[in-house]
Amino acid sequence: MRSSNPARAHRRPTVMPEPDGRAGEKGWDMRIWLVTGASRGLGAALVAAVLARGDAVVATARVPERIAGVGPEHEERLLRYRLDVTDPDTVRRAVAAAVERFGRIDVLVNNAASGLLGAVEETSVDEARTLFDTNVFGVLSVTNEVLPVMRAQRSGHVLMMSSMGGFASGAGFGVYAASKFAVEGLAEALREELAPFGIAVTIAEPGVFQTDFASVGSAQAGRSIDDYRQVEETLAEYDDGEPGGDPAWAATRLVAVVDRTNPPLRLPLGADAVARISGKLTAVAAELADLT
């Protein structure tokens, strides 16, 4: 595979949008971000962090009117746009609007996702398919629409929002974790495929954060089996446990990783994520040692 200059992935545009939103000749050191799932949770926190940094962002959601308002000093650097990752037409229109408004896309954040709680046997194929339509095929759709823009630029950074469950699964989260495992598999391949074009790929693996993902953003498997009552109790304890980390902190970490000259493939977010990932690595290392 051809070699590339890692710094290319972090080359920044030097234009500021004119009042009509198009790129002008006035110098301004800023990146253009496209964020899916920007109306709540980590997505909303990231939009705020990106704007505070001085970058521009195309904040997308199925209902863009729900994307939080910003101060007047940020409005010219914010484009709210409708994007449903399961609807290819909205994906195409959103990417085209981003390029029309700002002239390029420097960072793609695949943040839009749904959750699904329940034992694997309790989960129907239709429920799993609906989840994968958003979490996997939606990510593939958006990424494949943005990559021609980044390849033409010979620069960019793709942030895949996974989960600590995308590295280490567990009872009650099996199908959701499977969707995130798929995302991580795509990201690992993309990192190698896109390196020759100066495009970086990073997988973010958040632990538990103070968002409504577990309640509003997650569905419960439609079937309940008595033998898995312990799994349900564990899920209830999880939902009633510690409130989790601050999304604003996670957002600053995501912004910082894009600034790195050699960004990592994986970025665990939160002590719980680090502990879970480390625990799996230790267990796998022990299993490998037993084989030698």
Do 111 and 161 touch, CB atoms closer than 8 A?
Answer: yes
Q: Is 194 within 8 Å of 153 (Cβ atoms)?
A: no
Q: Angle 83-47-61 (CA atoms, 0-180°, nearest 5)?
A: 15
Active site residue 176: yes
Q: Is 4 known to be catalytic? A: no
26 catalytically annotated: no
C-alpha count within 13 angstroms, C-beta hemisphere, residue 125:
0
155, 163, 169, 176: which one is catalytic?
176
Q: Is 218 helix (H, G, I), strand (E, B) or coil?
A: strand
Catalytic residue from among 39, 114, 155, 162: 162
CA–CA separation, 57 and 234 (whole Å): 38
- Cα 20 to Cα 24, 71, 93, 214: the distances in Å are 10, 18, 19, 40
Angle at 177 between CA 122 and CA 283, to 5 degrees: 110
- Which of 39, 180, 218, 228 is flagged as catalytic? 180
Helix pair angle (247-259, 41-53), 10° resolution: 50
Q: What is the token pair recorded at 247?
A: 């999304």
Tell which residue, 74, 90, 77, 72, has the closest CA to residue 36.
Answer: 90
The torsion angle over the Cα atoms of residues 108, 109, 110 and 111, rounded to 10 degrees, is: -160
Give 66's contacts (C-beta < 8 A, 6+ positions apart): 39, 40
Cα–Cα dist 85/115, whole Å: 15
- Contact between residue 250 and residue 162 where contact means Cβ atoms under 8 Å apart: no
Q: Give me the active site residues, please.
A: 162, 176, 180
